């Protein structure tokens, strides 16, 4: 039992990332009908927002401290960050420590802006073109974004830590009444899951309970009728593109402590997220979320040693295998509407 719970928990953090990226992809596909291969790059840019903020906060100047000496006996140079200098060591230190959560605030405007520019500048011109063209142009854009990040940040992964409070692991099993040391779980992964749940809940609430969301949902169902009612649906869809970009970016920001950001992390996630979208059903938001968590958990179950000893290598291919089976037996995906993109 505890082994099963452990695997479910292990699957949740990756599943959360899949779910968030797939949610954004589905938002874009459902509203604009565009297959966005650059979505993984948006996730990656989000992670680099965290890197950037933590670098900005760590900007420092050097002073010579006469009281200290280094190991050669010379007066030691002490680095003081500007933030600590302005706000005092306690407050400043705390802000630097919390760089990754703070990057959430920093990344939202950045990502929304990138989303707007992308949609208005490029994707707008591809609505009428075939899906293959959309895939190709966004694939090209993904390469460009990736190379720009590589140019500024280098090719190596950049470790970006979580706040001290959330470092390390805790014994989750004891809380649930299992033996100690049965389920050890890192704090940050739990934070990531909770964060993903909040974001997903927020997006759904926004679409369900606001007038804006209602119009967008109406536009997804029947674009022409909404336009005939005199509503500028294009403008709203552009805003949804910005929101989808922000969701991907936020997923990336919070993922930075789990996996050190590197320039090709987007491409690694992109393929899997597409598989997730297809499994969930193109255009179905709940389907994307469900399939994200489902595939994340399945992947972690498949990497259990007991299962690997029966089916070697299953952990490497389980997601693709599920996708192939789903596509062949139920092409509209787990929760896709009947008749939408069935062929």
Partner 1 sequence: MLGLNKRDFSLLLIVAVLALGAPFILNPFPTDSAMAQFNAGYPDLMQRFAIYGIFAIGFNILFGLTGYLSFGHAAFLGVGSYSAVWMFKLLSMNVIPAILLSVIVAGLFALLIGFISLRRSGIYFAILTLAFAQMSFNLAYSVLTPITNGETGLQLTLDDPRILGVSRTADGSIPVTNLFGMEMREFSTLNVGHWSFDFSVGYYVCAVLMLLSFYIAIRIFRSPFGMMLRAIKSNNTRMTYTGLNARPYALAAFVISGMYAGLAGGLLASMDPLAGAERMQWTASGEVVLMTILGGAGTLIGPVLGAGFIKYFENIFSKINDSVLHSWFSFMPDGIENLLVTLVHPFVGKGWHLTLGLLFMLVVIFLPGGLVEGGQRIARLFRRKKPDDAKKSTQSTPAE
Q: Which residues of 150-185 are buried (b: 16+ CB within 10 A; e: fewer)?
A: eeebeeeebebebbeebeeeeebbeeeebeeebbeb
Q: Which is nearer to partner 1, 253 or 282 (CB)?
A: 282
The site for partner 1 (CB under 8 A) is made up of: 35, 122, 125, 129, 131-133, 135-137, 139-144, 146-148, 150-151, 267, 271, 274-275, 278, 282, 312-313, 316-317, 320-321, 323-324, 327-328, 331, 341, 343
**Residue 301 Cβ vs partner 1, minimum distance, rounded to whole Å:** 17
Angle at 45 between CA 267 and CA 216, to 5 degrees: 90
Q: Which is nearer to partner 1, 182 or 267 (CB)?
A: 267
Beta bridge partners of 61: 80
Q: Which is nearer to partner 1, 32 or 191 (CB)?
A: 32
C-alpha distances (whole Å) from 100 to each of 16, 48, 124, 192, 249 are: 17, 10, 33, 12, 12
**Residue 144 Cβ vs partner 1, minimum distance, rounded to whole Å:** 4
**Residue 234 Cβ vs partner 1, minimum distance, rounded to whole Å:** 20
The two tokens of residue 1 are 């039992």
- In degrees and rounded to multiples of 5, residue 79 shows phi and psi of -95, 130
**Residue 120 Cβ vs partner 1, minimum distance, rounded to whole Å:** 14
**Residue 141 Cβ vs partner 1, minimum distance, rounded to whole Å:** 6
Q: Which is nearer to partner 1, 79 or 129 (CB)?
A: 129
- Can you tell me the distance from the alpha carbon of 83 to that of 179, in angstroms, rounded to the nearest whole number? 44
Q: Which is nearer to partner 1, 3 or 155 (CB)?
A: 155
Half-sphere exposure of 152 (CA within 13 A, CB side): 11
């Amino acid at each position: 039992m505890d082994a099963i719970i452990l695997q479910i928990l292990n699957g949740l953090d990756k599943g959360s990332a899949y779910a968030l990226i797939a949610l954004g992809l589905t938002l874009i596909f459902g509203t604009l009908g565009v297959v966005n291969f650059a979505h993984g790059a948006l996730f990656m840019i989000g992670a680099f927002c965290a890197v950037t903020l933590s670098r900005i906060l760590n900007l420092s100047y050097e002073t010579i401290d006469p009281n200290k000496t280094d190991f050669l006996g010379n007066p030691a140079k002490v680095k003081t960050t500007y933030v600590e200098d302005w706000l005092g060591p306690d407050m400043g230190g705390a802000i630097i420590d919390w760089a990754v959560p703070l990057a959430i605030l920093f990344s939202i405007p950045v990502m929304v802006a990138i989303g707007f520019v992308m949609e208005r500048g490029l994707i707008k011109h591809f609505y009428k073109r075939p899906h293959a063209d959309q895939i190709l142009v966004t694939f090209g854009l993904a390469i460009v974004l990736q190379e720009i990040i590589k140019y500024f940040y280098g090719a190596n992964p950049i470790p970006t830590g979580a706040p001290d409070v959330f470092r390390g692991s805790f014994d989750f099993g004891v809380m649930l009444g299992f033996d100690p040391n049965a389920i050890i779980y890192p704090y940050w992964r739990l934070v990531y899951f909770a964060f993903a749940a909040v974001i997903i809940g927020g997006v759904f609430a926004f679409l369900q309970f606001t007038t804006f969301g209602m119009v967008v949902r109406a536009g997804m169902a029947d674009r022409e009728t909404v336009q005939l009612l005199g509503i500028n649906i294009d403008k709203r869809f552009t805003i949804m593109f910005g929101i989808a970009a922000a969701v991907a970016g936020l997923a990336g920001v919070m993922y930075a402590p789990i996996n050190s950001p590197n320039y090709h992390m987007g491409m690694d996630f992109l393929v899997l997220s597409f598989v997730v979208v297809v499994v969930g059903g193109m255009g179905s938001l709940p389907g994307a979320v469900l399939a994200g968590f489902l595939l994340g958990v399945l992947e972690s179950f498949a990497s259990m040693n007991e299962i690997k000893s029966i089916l070697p290598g299953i952990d490497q291919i389980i997601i693709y295998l599920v996708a192939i089976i789903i596509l062949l037996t139920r092409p509209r995906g787990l929760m896709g509407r009947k008749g939408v993109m069935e062929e």
